[in-house]
Amino acid sequence: MMETHCKEYDFQQIEPKWQTFWTENNTFRAEQDTSLPKYYALDMFPYPSGAGLHLGHCENYAITDIMARFKRAQGYNVLYPIGWDAFGLPTENYAVKTGRHPVDITKENILTYTRQLRQIGLSNDYSREVNTTDPEYFRWTQWIWLQLFQQGLAYVEDKPVWWCPALGTVLANEEIIDGKSEVGSHPVERRPLRQWVLRITAYADRLLDGLKNLDWPDSTKRMQAAWIGRSEGSEVEFDIDGFTDERLKIFTTRVDTIYGATYMVIAPEHNLAEQLTIASQKTDVERYTRLAASKSDLERTELAKDKTGVFTGSYAINPASGGKIPIWVADYVLASYGTGAIMAVPAHDERDYEFAQKYNLPCTQVIAPVDGSSAKLPYCEKVGEVVLINSEAYSGMTPKVATGKLDQQFSEAGRGKSTIQFKLRDWLFSRQRYWGEPFPIVWVSAENYNRSVAIHTLKVPADPVTAMFDGVLRYALPIPESSLPLRLPEVQSYNPTGTGESPLAKMPDWLEIWYEPSTGAAVAAIEAKPGDQWIRARRETNTMPQWAGSCWYYLRYVDPKNRESLASADMLEYWGTPDIYVGGAEHAVLHLLYARFWHKVLFDLGVVPTDEPFRKLFHQGIILGEDGEKMSKSRGNVANPDEIIKSYGADSLRLYLMFLGPLDAMKPWNPKGIEGVHRFLQKVWRECVDQEGKPNPKIDPDTQDSGEFLKLLHETIKKVGDDLSNLRYNTAVSQMMIFANGLQKTQTVSRNSVLAFLQILAPFAPHICEELWARLGQKTPLAKTIWPTYDAKRLEAKEAKLVFQVNGKFRGDQLLPIEISQDIAIEHAMENNKVAAQVAGKTIKRVIFIPGKILNLVVS
């Protein structure tokens, strides 16, 4: 016997019982049989923090688990894996604080998470568990990184980056919110450091185009599109008065307004800034550029809406009009976008207008409404018909035509072209911390680099990656793939050095080495040189950011134990990519963009057969506190899943989370509400078993259910199936409640009807359904059974309520055969007192009759 023997609905006994049963029987292990139709359901894997699971996790995983159980019942071979995104700052910070090893902390946290996830009844296949901090996993993270490196998609740059003194590390643009660190809201500052950068911009166009075919929430697609920020425009080179060998190149989306360009602006970091500054302006410009360089992000964007700038003293020649226009330095122009220089057209750009007003720069209108009406400056309208004015030969043309002609003119003159710019920047891909993947390269001399590459036929980028160390140029030499993984050394202290280097920099024996390029073998440099082949090398002290491991974990699940490759071609072909990917909208840009980038690189290398990782994406809504505010400890409005499970059981928790409202909507948690779904499960329990825990005598294998009851059953089967497929779980739960209310009113019911109901309820409330299934004498576990089918004939009704309306207003209804004619319907309607009263003394002008639904009499 599989079932428990409790008489009441004792979920504390039932739930662990079935969790154990499923685990012991490997009920949810994905089959190896690739002839079966497959379904791959994936959650965004958790970061195993010390805090444990919260309700948001529960919602997220319940959605996917229910889908996985539903698809299994539909006959799919389902892959529903779980793993751990375990590198990262919180664990390292905790290690710093406690002096414990991050590996031990991680292990402990994973145990907690595993226990909690099992407790909510998830049907994960634990035989495929992955952990980003496992060397057998991150060897492939490093392997993928090596492919990027070899493709020339990874490079090193010594550039000002966001340095956070409190965290002791550099942060990416994306990790800065309002001029503060996303983690902990610490202040950040600019600091030049040697960084690894990934050339994601090389894929900008494809990352944008690829969005079109994805079944993602529109808002998320729009966010990514905005982040990539494709912009069509023109590059134009302006001559500089008094210079013969330098021109000032600008990017504009409105080359048609070039006759209105009355001044130029270059970014403070522009490489011509110094050259263009005349002696008398030198002090002012230098002071300004120095100030701009030291400004934090906050000061430069948030607080400095008030535009500032300094005149360089130089002039550019407008290539269209031939006019001499001043060149200014101002930090409202960003060095990192376009060419770091603009032509300013104050009449048709709000920013330029504001600046021109402040510094009394001229303003020439060159665009006007075609109807000759006057326009208020700055005139930036994108709607309505406009033409060029004050633009010599181009006056009278539309902007579109003028843009084409000007592009052509400048192109022929060798000073311009139409071009495309992206907002997307290359991806800062190194952290000065311990708890991340080490980079699989060593720094060597030019001579050793060239020799190693020649002798050992290492795959290296076309242009070597180099960096200066203590005034000496070093080359980045990849370590052989056969020597992966490159593990983290044991360190005494996890504290950041505070110098911009990771704790790894304090490990001289690991850092400075004798190195064998063909095997990757290394010994400390203080030892004797082991042999002729060995060269002097220095390891990379940066580690990879947390995004690295999460960029490809969905690929590892299809073949998690593979030692020859990140996953076999067969498994990648069969399982492909997730059929549904569920996770929070907060990852709309970063994780989802990075993963798409890596996936496309792997596709280009022939490693994966598809060019997009996540065809279908769904974001669960945030669960708010009882007070409608975001749950937080300080507010004291946090609902704890462990406590809820203790009081009501996992089935009630799952069911209630799904019943709260649309899955993607933000919803407040109502502690009273869960009692409703709990009562529903109690009701189901009592309908199935009597007070002794034996099958309820009303369930009779031989009874014939009424047509009405069967209609309800089949409607329910249909609606629950449809709603599951369309991720409308809340209305599926409602329908099952309606069914249970109907079931309660029956005197007797056939066992088959009850069993079918348990099957459709099972994805939502798997434990109680397995238990009742077994108690009703079923020997096969419910989780292994096939979804019931509904009979469309059962859904048809011969009679339906016909609604009577007069002038579109409800005046009554009547149960009538669907087939009746309009005339008969009117006769019935007129027998209704209310209808008759409304029609009395008036003439029927028009009749709208929809059989079985509505009869609307239009009277005057």
Partner RNA sequence: GCCCGGGUGGUGGAAUGGUAGACACUGGGGACUUAAAAUCCCCUGUUCGUAAGGACGUGUGGGUUCGAGUCCCGCCCCGGGCACCA
Stretch 783-842 residues interacting with RNA (CB under 7 A): 801, 803, 805, 807-811, 813, 834, 837
Instruction: Find where tokens 């998830």 sit.
Output: 122
Beta carbon nearer to RNA, 249 or 538: 249
Binders of RNA in range 87-116 (CB under 7 A): none
CB of 676: closest distance to RNA in angstroms? 3
What string marks each residue from 155 to 194 as x (binds RNA by CB under 7 A) or -?
----------------------------------------
- Is residue 710 classed as helix, strand or coil in its secondary structure? helix
Query: Among residues 710 and 858, whose Cβ is nearest to RNA?
Result: 858
Residue closer to RNA by CB (options 752, 807) is 807
Residues with Cβ < 8 Å from 1, sequence gap 6 or more? 774
Question: Among 115, 222, 324, 561, which residue interacts with RNA (rule: CB under 7 A)?
Answer: 222
180-181 vs 176-177, strand pairing mode:
antiparallel
Identify the bridge partners of residue 444 per DSSP, sorted by sequence position.
475
Beta bridge pairs of residue 476: 443
Q: Identify the helix (H) or strand (E) that includes residue 95.
A: helix 89-98
> What residues are paired with 316 via a beta bridge?
240, 325
Cα dihedral sign, 549-550-552-554: positive
Secondary structure of residue 838 in the 3-state scheme = helix
Specify the DSSP element, H or E, that contains 90: helix 89-98
Q: Which is nearer to RNA, 129 or 675 (CB)?
A: 675
Residue 222 or 694 with smaller CB distance to RNA: 222
- Which one of 745, 779, 793, 798 is in contact with RNA (CB under 7 A)? 745
If the CB atoms of residues 270 and 539 are measured against RNA, the closer one turns out to be 270
CB of 423 to RNA, least distance (A): 4
Select 318 or 805, whichever has its Cβ closest to RNA. 805
Binding to RNA (CB under 7 A) within 392-421 occurs at 421
Part in contact with RNA (CB under 7 A); list of ranges 111-119, 186-194, 503-511, 724-732: 724-732
CB of 324 to RNA, least distance (A): 20
Q: How far is the CB of 451 from RNA (least distance, A)?
A: 42
Q: Quick one: 258 or 755, whose CB is closer to RNA?
A: 258
Nearer to RNA, 286 or 675 (CB): 675
Q: How far apart are CA 589 and CA 236, in angstroms?
A: 32
Q: Say whether 688 sits in a helix, a strand or coil.
A: helix
Residue ranges in 329-439 assigned as alpha helix (H): 350-359, 399-412
Window 656-715: residues binding RNA (CB under 7 A): 659-662, 665-668, 670, 672-673, 675-677, 679-680, 682-683
Q: How far is the CB of 223 from RNA (least distance, A)?
A: 4
Sequence-separated (6 or more) residues with CB below 8 Å from residue 487: 135, 438
Smallest separation (angstroms) from RNA to the CB of 394: 17
DSSP at 257: G
The nearer residue to RNA, 573 or 586, going by C-beta atoms, is 586
Name which position in 103, 166, 223, 523 contacts RNA (CB under 7 A): 223
Residue 427 binds to RNA (criterion: CB under 7 A): no
Per CB under 7 A, the segment of 22-30, 220-228, 488-496, 516-524 that binds RNA is 220-228
Q: Could you identify the residue written with the tokens 């071979």?
A: 77
Half-sphere exposure of 676 (CA within 13 A, CB side): 13
| Rounded Cα distance, 137 and 116, in Å | 24
Q: In the range 532-571, which residues lie near RNA by CB under 7 A?
A: none
Do residues 24 and 126 make contact, with C-beta atoms less than 8 angstroms apart?
no
- Closest separation in Å from C-beta 586 to RNA: 7
Which residues, 279 to 308, sit near RNA by CB under 7 A?
A: 300-301, 304-305, 307
In the DSSP assignment, the letter for residue 608 is S
Nearer CB in complex with RNA: 348/775? 348
CB of 738 to RNA, least distance (A): 5
Taking the complex as a whole, how short is the minimal distance between the CB of residue 838 and RNA, in angstroms?
Answer: 7
Positions 224 through 263 that interact with RNA (CB under 7 A): 226-227, 229, 231, 233, 251-254
435 Cβ contact list (under 8 Å, min separation 6): 87, 88, 89, 91, 92, 95, 102, 133, 488, 494, 543
Per-residue buried b or exposed e for 788-823, using 16+ beta carbons within 10 Å of the residue's own CB: bebeeebeeeeeeebbbbbeeeebbbbebeeebeee
Helix axes 102-119, 11-24, angle to 10 degrees: 120
Nearer Cβ to RNA, position 71 or 667? Answer: 667
- Minimum Å distance from CB 192 to RNA? 20
The single-letter code of the amino acid at 699 is I
Among positions 578-597, residues that touch RNA (CB under 7 A) are 585, 589
Interactions with RNA, residue window 312-341 (CB under 7 A): 331-334, 337-338, 340
- To RNA, the closest distance from the beta carbon of 709 in angstroms equals 15
Q: How does 502-530 read in b/e, with b if 16+ C-beta sit within 10 Å?
A: bbbbbbeebbbbbbbbeebbbeebeeeee
CB of 232 to RNA, least distance (A): 8
For RNA, the binding residues in 46-85 under the rule CB under 7 A are none
Give the residue with the Cβ less far from RNA, 572 or 737: 737
Candidates 637, 647, 730, 814: give the one binding RNA (CB under 7 A): 730
Distances in Å between the alpha carbon of 370 and those of 366, 388, 812?
A: 12, 9, 59
The least CB distance from residue 256 to RNA, in Å, is 11
Restricting to residues 471-530, which ones interact with RNA according to CB under 7 A? none
- Smallest gap, in angstroms, from Cβ of residue 797 to RNA? 12
Q: CB-wise, 338 or 503, nearer to RNA?
A: 338
Binding piece for RNA, criterion CB under 7 A, among 58-66, 160-168, 370-378, 741-749 = 741-749
Q: How far is the CB of 455 from RNA (least distance, A)?
A: 44
Binding residues among 199-218 for RNA as defined by CB under 7 A: 218
Q: Minimum distance from CB of 332 to RNA (Å)?
A: 4
Which of 54, 423, 538, 587 forms a contact with RNA (CB under 7 A)? 423
For the chain, the distance separating the N- and C-terminal CA atoms, rounded to the nearest angstrom, is: 73
Minimum CB distance to RNA smaller for 80 or for 804: 804
* Half-sphere exposure of residue 287: CA atoms within 13 angstroms, side-chain side: 9
* Element at 111 (helix H, strand E): helix 102-119
Q: Torsions phi, psi of 810, nearest 5?
A: -65, 125
Of positions 3, 85, 175, 349, contacts RNA by CB under 7 A: 349
Closer to RNA at the Cβ: 226 or 786? 226
Q: What's the gap between Cα 106 and its chain centre?
A: 24
Closest approach, Cβ 64 to RNA, in A, equals 20
Q: Locate 313 and state its tokens.
A: 């003293």
In angstroms, what CA-CA distances link 353 with 262, 315, 361, 376?
A: 11, 19, 9, 12
Cα distance between residue 89 and residue 109, in whole Å? 14
Determine which residue in the list 267, 356, 717, 758 makes contact with RNA, applying CB under 7 A: 267
Rounded Cα distance between 592 and 335, Å, is 27
In the structure encoding, which two tokens stand for residue 553, read together? 């974990």
SS3 399: helix
Judged by beta carbon, residue 472 or residue 666, the one nearer RNA is 666
Cα 773 from Cα 374, distance rounded (Å): 78
Q: How many residues sit in the footprint of RNA (CB under 7 A)?
A: 80
3-state SS, residue 805: strand
The nearer residue to RNA, 64 or 856, going by C-beta atoms, is 856
